[in-house]
Amino acid sequence: MPRILLPTSLLFEGVINFFFWEITETVEDLLALFTHPDYMRKGLEDLSSNITRQKEWLVTRLLLKEALGNDVKISYTVSGRPFLVGSTDYVSISHTRQYVVLALARGPFGVDIEVWSSRALRLQQKFLSPDEVSLLHSVEAEKMAVRLWSAKESCYKYLDISGLSLKNDISLAQRDVRLEAHIIGMDNAVPIYYQDFPSFVLTWTKPE
């Protein structure tokens, strides 16, 4: 079921609302939470038999219902960026394994969630430059790799630039308790914030 969490580093500013869901339900369990489950069932037809995607699709809409009510719908731009029909809020969505986060703000931003695993560390050469590899401190290299991967994903979603390379076009640097992304061809750096949770890391860019 959903929980509303405000990361402590943004609590004072209150600029983003985060809605989390840990999926423990079946597809039928999730459908039963809608007022018109048969209508929502039709939306699953394009997802074929991919149960994981069906659950993520349903949970995203349940979170939106929790946040803004039944009158707001999610649509997508040509690039795949989500936007809200019936609301002036901006939305960013991420999911990893059984976790889904939907975040709302008053300006463009990006958010990402990644579960802790060794995968990012194993694949570091695919998304990190040699300079960025130096950020992988030996004490917690595995966790730092996940944070960096998630930070680049958040930045990518925020920028929404077609063909952007996570490794070659986005360069990360540590700045105290946050990260900073430098983008090829852009003068201004993008601050990226992160917060560790027991099962995952959450990263986000500050809304414009």
pLDDT above 90: residue 6: no
Tens-digit pLDDT profile for residues 129-165: 999 999 998 779 999 999 999 999 999 999 999 899 9
pLDDT above 70: residue 12: no
pTM: 0.93
Contacts of 107 (CB under 8 A, 6+ apart): 90, 207, 208
Tens-digit pLDDT profile for residues 73-107: 999 998 889 999 989 999 999 999 999 999 999 99
Q: Please give the helix or strand (H or E) that residue 182 lies within, else none.
A: strand 178-183
- Amino acid occupying residue 154: S
